[in-house]
Every structure is written in C-alpha cells, then in structure tokens.
Chain A
Amino acid sequence: MIERWQSVAVFLAALLAGLHLPAHAGEVLDAVKARNELRCGVSEGIAGFSEQDAGGRWHGLDADFCRAVAAAVLGDPDKVRFVPLKASTRFPALLSRKIDLLVRNTTWTLTREALLKVQFPGVLFYDGQGFLVAKSSGVNSITDLNGATVCVEKGTTHEQNLIDYFAARGLTVKPLVIDSSARVAEAFFAGRCRAYTSDASQLAAVLAHSPGGARGFAILPERISKEPLGPVVQGGDAEWDTLVRWVLYSLIAAEEQGVTRANIDAIARTSQGAAWRLASGKDERLAQALGVRRDWVVRAVKAVGNYGEMYERNLGRDSPLNIERGLNRLWTQGGLLYSPPLD
C-alpha cells in the first residue's frame, strides 16, 4: 500500500516539479545572461575570502573568483551581485536558486555531492582544520587540549572533525558550538574556550584582526582534516558546471603559462606558444560550445589576474594574512594546483 504512491510521488515531486532537483543543462548560464548579472553566494565576512570594505566593495579570493566568472560569462567583472550567507543558509540558497554560484569557503565532500545533489567544479583553496590558541595558554600541540573546551562554528564540517579526531586518539574535548564565525571569534577572545578550531586560513584571518594584536595568539602546526574549498553549483546543469570549472582552470593555466594581468595584452600580440593561445582568445568554436564570448579567458584574467596574483593579493604576501601558499602552489612547484590542457 505504502509503495503504491511512490512512483506517482517521485514523478510528481522529483522529476516533475523540478525544484531543487537537477536543473536543465545550460539553465543557469541562460538565466545569468538573461539577467545580465551573476548572483554569487559568499560569506558574511571572512578576511581574505569574502568581506566588504567600508565602501561596500567585496574583497577576497572567493569574491575575486565570482568576478572572474562574471567577466568570462558577461564580459564585465562588476556584474556580480554578492549575496552574503551564513554557513547554514548557503545550501538552501543554492538549492532554491537564490544564487547561481556558491563561493563561500565550502569544503568539497562526497556527502554534499551525493545527498544534496550539488557539484564542486574544482578546488579554489586547499585548506585544513587547525587550532587557534592564546600563547599564554601553554598549549603547544593538540594533545594539550585534552579535556578542554573548544569553540567551533555550527553548520560546518569542523564540529564532527573535532569530535572524530579526539575520539580516535582517546582524548576528550568539549565543543562549544556557536552560530556564526564572528560569534565564535568573540567567544574565543572572551575566554569562553581554550581554542578556536576552523580552517587554518580562517584562523589566520581571525588572528589578523585579533584584539591586542596577533602576537598573543598562535595557530598550532597540526591539521586535523583535509578541507578542499571550492565553488559549488546546483547539480544537473553540466554546462554551468563545466564553465565554472574551466574558469578556475584557466586562472591556474594562466599562472602556469606566465600570463598575468599586466602582460596578457602583450602576449596576445605575439603569435606562438601555449601562452599565446590562452591569451589570444581565438578559438571561436570552443567559446561557442561553452556559450561564452571567445575572449572569456582574457576577460577573466584581466579582471582578477592569474591564480597566483589572486592568491597573493588576498591571502599571501600582499595581504595582511600573509598565508604561505603551501598546497596551493602550482604542481610544478610542489603544490596541488594542476590545470588540464585548455586545448
């Protein structure tokens, strides 16, 4: 009896109503073009990734990637509407189509792809979960946190990682789960917990804004998880997934080929080599297949620079965070960044 409605229900609910279930191929790209605006879901403010300055302009690696996609699709990096989202509202926003693209420090996991029917086109930043502690606490390693209270943000993968890591080593921990990253930081600096656990990059951002300066605090060297952070799109729209993925790869490929914001025009005037092919935007057929203008790579690189430029400006040596590139170096330099051929 119970099963007798299953097919009707599944048909009517899943296949038929459409809704948060797979979008039509090309649907998001068509909608972005028709709207002439990319709606990009970002954080409510994480230094280095997505935060607004006093003038209301968004900065950070995530914000720049949104601009690169807008430049590739619409020809203008400023045609982005940034939608600030709490961690808990990011997937409802994506699945209900309030945003076209989610670029909000989101870890690529099987659970998210399989259960939520979303797709991660690639990794924008290789991160790992670390611990921020006060130097005066005497904590030098994670084992020193046995039995301690640790602040963690609700709705992230960090809480479970924390519990799993300590349990696997026979250690105990008391997670203090708090609503938003800003409140977690407040709780930590108010002394409500002995450590603050999150992505190391996020901890670096918190450290840069710590009251009384960064000198009194430290990020422990250990990492307890892999956190490949990347953009997210709704499942079922292979064309949009492909386009976002190749915008990311084109930024990495630009760095591989030495193509920068400054030299891309000069390289385009030459007539040989892979760098020229990347910069010239001559492949009309490829652009047509992707549904974008033929100079989409040029526009993306001109908008935000290559991956390395984007990284250093927002997270690396040109930013207050000064985070080592580490795993985010090119594969040729010992990192994990690797772009398949754009040919």
Chain B
Amino acid sequence: MTDLQIYLTLAVFAAVIVAIAFDLIDMAVAALLGVGAMLTLGILNNDDLIAAARSAGGPLALLFGGMVVAHVLGKTGVFERVGQHFLHATRGSGKRYLLLLILLVAPTCALLPNATTVILLAPVIISVARALKVDFVGPMILTAIVSNAAGMLTLVGDPATFLVGSSIGMSFVQYLQKVSLAGLLAVLVVIPLLPWLMPQIWNARVELPPAAAATRIDRPAFVALTLAILALMVGLFLFGENLPTRIVPPAVAIIAASLALLLVYRVHIEPIDDAFQAIDWKTLVFLGAIFCLVEGFIKTGLLQGLSLKLYGWFGTEYALVALALLAGIGVLSSLLANIPVVAAALVMTKGYLVAAEAVPEIALGAGFSDWPAHTLPVFIAMMFGATLGGNATLIGASANIVSAGICAKQGERITFVRFLRFGLPITLAQLAVATLYVIAMVWFAS
C-alpha cells in the first residue's frame, strides 16, 4: 500500500465514522459508501473482500442463526412466560430490574456468544421494560455492554480474550487466577453508575398486577420441538467441538436456524418468507461492511508496524507499554471490530517484545508459551482494551449493533450519540478499573 493509499484509507474510515457519529446518513448506507470508496480507490481488491468475507462469516452466521432461532422461539410464547417470571422477580422495582438484568446476562454470556445472548434475551428484556413502563433503550444498551464485559469472565467468554490467552499459552485455570477478577470488576463497576445513567429506570416503582395465569400454550408439540432445537444449539455451542466431527459455533448457529426454519415450514406456523423477513438484514449488511472497512484499515499495516515504534518510544518499560496498549487498543476497539484489532495488536505486541529482547524471535511464531511473567501485563492490558473499549460506541462491538437493530425494529432508534451517552462513561470507568488492575499486576510481577 502506498502512503497515499494509507491516507485515503484513513480518510474514508474517518468519514464513515463522522457520518455515523453525527447521524448525517444512515449508518448502513455510510458503511456501504465507505466500502464503495475503498473499492473505487483500489484500496480493497478481490483478495481483500474474500478475506473480509472469511472474517465476517463466523460472526454473521452466529447472528443469523440467533435471529432465526429467536424469531421462532417468539412464536412459542416462551418469551412471554420467561418475561412474566422476570417481571415478577423485579417486584415492580426498576432497580431490581436492572440488577437482575445484569445477573441474567453476565452468566449467560459465559455460555453463549455475546451477540446471540443479546438476540435471545432482548424480547424478555423489552417486554419487562414495557410492563414496568420504562424506556427499554437503556436496558438494551446495558445488555450489550454487560455481555461484552462478561466475556472477560472466562478464557472462552469472548473470541478476543481467547485469541490473546491462547496465543500466549494461558490455560483456563491460569486465566481464572489472573484475569477473571478483572472481568468481574468490569461488570460490577457498572452498577454504581446506573442511578446516574438511568435514573428514571433506577427509581421506577410500579404496582404490578397480580400474577396472571401462565400463558396458554396452543401448540405444545411445536413448543417442545423449538425448545429442543434451542437445547441442541446450546449443547452444541458447549460441546460441539468435542464431537468426532467438530462443529464450530457459527456452524451450530446455521444448523439450529435450519432446523427452526424446517419446523416453521412443517408446522405451518407462518410462511417461510415471513420468517426471512423477520431477519434484521440491515444489521447483517452493516456488520459485513464494517468488516470490509476494517480489512482496509488493517491492510495499511499501521497497527502492526507500531511494534518497532513502541520499542523506540518506551524501550523496555513494560508497565508503560501495558498502559499505552490499554488506552490505545481501547480507543481503537471503540471504533473498529475488536477481533481484527486484537489480531493485529498481537502481531504488534509480540513484535515489540521480540524487538525489546524480552523473548527470542521464535515467539513471533505460533505455539510459543514461554512468556516471562513481566510480559503478561502487556498482553492482559491489550485484552482489557480490546474487550472493554468496544463498549464505548455503537459500532464498537457486534452486540451493540445488534442491540440497536432490535431497538429500531421496536420503533426506538439508537443513534451514535445516544449510545455514547451510556457507553462512554461506563467504558471510562471500566478502563480505569482495568488500569488499576494492570498496575497491580505489574507491581506484583516486579
């Protein structure tokens, strides 16, 4: 890529972000225009589009499958039932509603992909908000943010954390010992902010009507089969990779979606065309376009090339590098999909540590696990920045975009600024906690 192409890439990217941030044009249109500009300027070529398609394929399959299964589940009345239980548990208190939401979302994200969790829980969260007569936009944004932060609870909670952890040979137990507490703190730090960010919901009190009789189930066989598909999907998410034929999460989502659509077709719940129309295609197209834009950004090599710059700026001051990565990757992840950012940042960080001679050159290859203790905070800071930074803006994480798409379908549009009003303070608080955690790690390591 020439210097001119690099500047053009940054300009196109900045233009898209500005257009979305200031609500100048529809965000999906802005992203598509950005991709079109990059294609016209020769920044993206066929190979890049194929790479972007591969990159986006997994997340989009997960979203598509989640949307289909959630739509079919919606036809069973199961959301109404769960919603009734949830509503009853709130006892009419907005505060209890928000706390229970966190309690529901965080552990679910330990089992299911973040965006899938948002899709599946959204009908319940929205129905309870309506019953409590509060705006559901705040809770939906909270759901996305908590799902992102909860991804840090375990090594496998989020592809980004897994990517970093596995690339440095960190085991599940080591992750629990060294990082999970930070994930828990990142979730808990949201709570004291809620009275300030969502005062109307936090202070809401409504008199709940007496518990109504449970919704009657008209088609028990259909409900049973749908729940069986849901159970199969969750089961395969957890154990699919251990089967003789490995089934990866995106494939699980496609299998579950196919079975759900077959069920709809055979039981004549609705025309298949209606089921397809219920899919939030705009969100899927937007995410696909964002992946193409990120491909263009990564292609500039700017992020990867920072490895030598980092060494020039900070030498072997690993604590400073860790904090710089926490902040820098945090900012980047708030504007770019965090997984490609993490992948690029890994190259950068490993390159820095090799250049600083903290590790031999073979550390640049796969499978190296002999990382000295004093280098771990550098990787963990990068993990924090990537995972938590995505909470700041509407486009920082796929869960955020999905959440906005669901709200739009319910008639409530989430603009960039509206999301930022919740996302930015929470992200700053989370990154502050993460900074203290990294400083403590450095202190203990030294």
Contacts and interface: CB of A to CB of B under 8 A. Distances in A.
Interface stretch (B28-36, B83-91, B93-101, B154-162): B154-162
A16 B242 contact: no
A6 B362 CA distance: 22
B308 A92 contact: yes
Q: Tell me the dominant secondary structure on chain A's binding face.
A: helix
Interface residues of A, number: 43
A12 B249 CA distance: 13
6 tightest A-B CB contacts, nearest first: A115-B365, A16-B55, A92-B351, A17-B343, A7-B248, A96-B304
B308 A11 contact: no
A113 to B, nearest CB: 10
A116 interface: yes
Interface stretch (B8-16, B353-361, B429-437): B353-361
A15 B295 CA distance: 12
Interface in A3-59: 3-9, 11-20, 24, 27, 31, 34-35
A2 B368 CA distance: 18
Interface stretch (B221-229, B233-241, B419-427): B233-241
Contact of A154 (B58, B155, B343, B357): B357
Interface residues of B, number: 62
Contacts of A24: 47
Nearest to B341: A17
Q: Which of B246, B301, B343 has the most CB of A within 10 A?
A: B343
Nearest to A5: B162
A96 B55 contact: no
Interface of B: 1-3, 5, 47, 51-52, 54-55, 57-59, 155-156, 159, 162-163, 166-167, 172, 237-242, 246, 248-250, 295, 298-299, 301, 304-305, 307-308, 311, 339-340, 342-344, 346-348, 350-352, 354-357, 360-362, 364-368
A174 interface: no
Q: Which of A8, A31, A95, A111 has the most CB of B within 10 A?
A: A8
Given A31-B1, A97-B301, A9 B308 contact: no
Contact of B354 (A15, A18, A92): A92
Q: Tell me the dominant secondary structure on chain B's binding face.
A: helix
A91 B248 contact: no
A96 B163 contact: no
Interface of A: 1-9, 11-20, 24, 27, 31, 34-35, 86, 88-89, 91-93, 95-98, 111-112, 114-117, 154-155, 179
B418 to A, nearest CB: 29
Contacts of A34: 1-2, 5
A263 B167 CA distance: 55
Q: Which of B155, B239, B364 has the most CB of A within 10 A?
A: B364
Contact of B298 (A17, A88, A98): A17
B390 to A, nearest CB: 14
A11 B57 contact: yes
Contacts of A93: 308
9 contacts: A1-B238, A7-B250, A16-B339, A20-B364, A31-B2, A92-B355, A92-B364, A98-B308, A111-B362
